[in-house]
Amino acid sequence: MVVVHDMVGARHDCRGLAAGLALLARSDSRKAIEILVLRREVAALRRQITRPLLQPADRM
């Protein structure tokens, strides 16, 4: 059973390494575009949030 566990652990390590290398391989322009898209999404979501209406009793 130890051999099976080691194989699963090795496979998990390889996946993590591959994901890290893929992240490093992204070009700077692609990263910049992704950041711009995410900023637009955040801005759109912030516009959807309305402030609560306060009553006089809330101000006491």
Domain range list for the chain? 2-48
Give the pLDDT of residue 57.
Answer: 87
> Quick one: tokens of 47?
């516009």
User: Which two structure tokens, joined as six digits, stand for 21?
Assistant: 């290398």
Helices (H), 1-60: 2-25, 28-48
Digit-coded pLDDT (tens) for 15-30: 777 777 776 777 888 8
Report the C-alpha gap between 33 and 27 in whole angstroms: 10
Q: pLDDT, tens digit, for every residue of 36-48?
A: 999 999 998 888 8
Q: Indicate if the pLDDT at residue 1 is higher than 60.
A: no
* Amino acid at site 56: P
Q: Which two tokens mark 19?
A: 């994901």
The pLDDT score that the predictor gives to residue 39 is 94
pTM of structure:
0.42
The pLDDT of residue 51 is 77
Reference 19, options 30, 11, 7; nearest CA is 11
